[in-house]
Structure 1
Amino acid sequence: MTVLIGVDWGGTKIEALAMRPDGTELVRIRKDTPAGDYEACVRMVADLALEAEARSGETGLIGIGIPGSVDPRTGIAKGCNSTWLLGRHVEQDVVAALGGREVRLENDADCLASSEAIDGAGAGHRVVFAVILGTGNGAGIAIDGRPHSGPNNSAGEWGHSPLPYPDLTEIPGTPCYCGKHGCQETWTSGTGFQNDYARHTGRRIKSPEIMALNRNGDRLAKLVFERYVDRLARGLSVVANTLDPDIFVLGGGMSNIDELYVDLPERIAHYTFSPVFYTPVVKAKHGDSSGVRGAAWLWKDRI
């Protein structure tokens, strides 16, 4: 029996998974990313994929999710927040490290969307828009369970659109690693949330600590969270206006904030063109495992 091998190549960890075609997990391995060292990352991706395959005892089909995408004509990596991948022939190099084995490679947020569409929180919905609210903001689109990439391999790059309806305090916005200012992810990533709190207090603390203060009645923490919800709603309202997906699925560290699922739908509805907003906003079922499962599911058409 062929197993599905997924590798989630992240900026802080690289994770490999061996999974049966019915979604049963057999092996999971995770190691810290050798950040900044491209060659070491390629070796680790290949080694973890082969280790997961060996430990499963079966021949595998290998899918990989990366924190960016590749130019569909040249194969050169683009839009990677792990900037040491930029300009590299990622798929070609991984194939070489695997001794010529065929791989399928997609953006990590597209893998999240596909995973949640197939057997996660978006199962049963035809068009799934999945958002990573983590160190940065990624997003992916799955249609009928398959990643939708577009002719430029850039569908779902929501995090690098400007924040909609900005007020004077949000213009031009802080610089983004992509070279522009005021990108959505500079406001609504976990990093953006922490930065907003630090701007007003001079103290940098982690998102769970800010939320603990909010829940204990701290006025400033409450204000910062309300502003976060509003900015996230503005961004997602544009997706609702243009794509009108069947469901929004939230992943990444910020998706663990339960208040989002109470406060966010009402705020999105405030900004949409349509006077009604019925779209479910839900948490990813597979959590931070969804990306690696989605990478494995890239071979779903072959099983």
Structure 2
Amino acid sequence: MRTPLRFGIDLGGTKTEIIALQGSDERLRRRLPTPQGDYQASLQTIVRLVREAEQQLGASGSVGIGIPGTRSPDHGRIKNANSVCLIGQDLQGDLEDLLQRPVRLANDADCFTLSEASDGAGAGADSVFGVILGTGVGGGIVIHGRLLGGPNAIAGEWGHNALPWRSPADGPARRCYCGLDDCIETFLSGPGWAARSGLGLNAAQLAAAAQAGEPAAQQALQRYCEQLARGLATVINLLDPHAIVLGGGLSNIAALYERVPPLLVRHVFSDQVNTRLLPARHGDSSGVRGAAWLWP
């Protein structure tokens, strides 16, 4: 019997990408610019990608979509989206009408985690916590191969907890876009790290300067590692995951995987920490692959 075809779509802020998977094999990949601030045009972009992929492959498939937000379990419309044109829209219902088939939606961090737990760095682990360290800080949880969901559709949103064990060395309080002060995202996102460093560099420049041995940048990176360890320690104390997989632009800093694990021990309620800290296997492709994996 032929393995089913699954389409995964990553609806990003600047590009919309589709992938076609048959088992774990990639059959097709394509992307188009995401229409800025235009909901109807975004719908048509997704439909176009699916139709053209089906025409090229000569077969139809299931459709899963990763979005920069989440579908409310209360009313089915999109909430918590940084692409604000999606907020309040019945994205799932509209796409099901246009594509004439069921569609599954999930937060993009959930899709990342599902991808890495299915055939990525966390494959074979009973429990995986996936972390996005990029323009924001997100997360997802996969238990025994299935995404963990809850009544609020916010499982894994550790970036909007306050930084734990705060000290004066962490600097002054900063307001998060969510309206609260000192969310983890204001420390560990790329823009948050860059702003708090006070060096006038963006995150990529800051990481490069640290690697080049610039003392102030190295100090900023060490502080980042300590803050990341504190944030992840609370996750380990709560979930005790077998693996934590890092994604997003800052996950490419190799020093994180050397420096953070020894720093966890002080804050994790255990004599030693057996949770593995791993870089994503599929890198930037994990989100779109995870969207395809929304259909088992």
TM-score with structure 1 setting the length? 0.92
Secondary structure (helix, strand or coil) at the match of 2:286 reads helix
Residue 137 in structure 1 maps to residue 150 in structure 2: no
Let me know the Cα RMSD of the aligned residues: 1.7
**Unaligned regions of 5+ residues in structure 2, if any?**
none
**Unaligned regions of 5+ residues in structure 1, if any?**
none
Change (3 A) 1:35 1:186: farther
Query: What letter is aligned with 2:246?
Result: L
Q: Distance in 2 between matches of 1:180 and 1:54?
A: 48
Query: What letter is aligned with 2:157?
Result: E
Residue 259 in structure 1 maps to residue 255 in structure 2: yes
Q: Contact 1:128/1:142 (CA < 8 Å) preserved in 2?
A: yes
Q: Which residue of 1 aligns with 2:232?
A: 236
Q: Contact 2:117/2:128 (CA < 8 Å) preserved in 1?
A: yes
Q: Distance in 1 between matches of 2:74 and 2:211?
A: 50
TM-aligned CA deviation for residue 18 of structure 1 = 0.8
Aligned positions of 1:44-83 closer than 5 A: 44-83=45-84
Q: Which residue of 2 aligns with 1:3?
A: 5
Q: Distance in 2 between matches of 1:34 and 1:244?
A: 40
Secondary structure (helix, strand or coil) at the match of 2:31 reads strand
Secondary structure (helix, strand or coil) at the match of 1:273 reads coil
Query: Which digits, 9 at most, give the CA deviation of each residue in 1:213-254, with x for residues without a partner?
Result: 112221110111111111111111000000000100001111
Aligned residues: 294
Q: Distance in 1 between matches of 2:36 and 2:168?
A: 36
Q: Contact 2:17/2:29 (CA < 8 Å) preserved in 1?
A: yes
Change (3 A) 1:84 1:78: same
TM-aligned CA deviation for residue 169 of structure 1 = 6.2
Q: Distance in 2 between matches of 1:63 and 1:92?
A: 13
Q: Which residue of 1 aligns with 2:27?
A: 26
Q: Distance in 1 between matches of 2:277 and 2:204?
A: 21
Q: Which residue of 1 aligns with 2:284?
A: 288
Q: Distance in 2 between matches of 1:184 and 1:246?
A: 22
Q: Distance in 1 between matches of 2:54 and 2:126?
A: 31
Change (3 A) 1:224 1:172: closer
Change (3 A) 1:187 1:28: same
Q: Contact 2:242/2:274 (CA < 8 Å) preserved in 1?
A: no
Change (3 A) 1:123 1:39: same
Aligned positions of 1:144-293 closer than 5 A: 144-168=144-168, 170=170, 173-197=173-197, 200-201=198-199, 203=200, 205-293=201-289
Query: What letter is aligned with 2:69?
Result: G
TM-aligned CA deviation for residue 27 of structure 1 = 0.7
Q: Distance in 1 between matches of 2:98 and 2:185?
A: 33
Q: Contact 1:116/1:285 (CA < 8 Å) preserved in 2?
A: yes
Q: Which residue of 2 aligns with 1:88?
A: 89
Residue 14 in structure 1 maps to residue 16 in structure 2: yes
TM-aligned CA deviation for residue 70 of structure 1 = 1.2
Query: What letter is aligned with 1:151?
Result: P
Q: Distance in 2 between matches of 1:25 and 1:120?
A: 14
Query: What letter is aligned with 1:122?
Result: G
Q: Distance in 2 between matches of 1:169 and 1:39?
A: 47
Q: Distance in 2 between matches of 1:261 and 1:238?
A: 18
Q: Contact 1:8/1:295 (CA < 8 Å) preserved in 2?
A: yes
Secondary structure (helix, strand or coil) at the match of 1:299 reads coil
TM-score with structure 2 setting the length? 0.94
TM-aligned CA deviation for residue 95 of structure 1 = 2.0
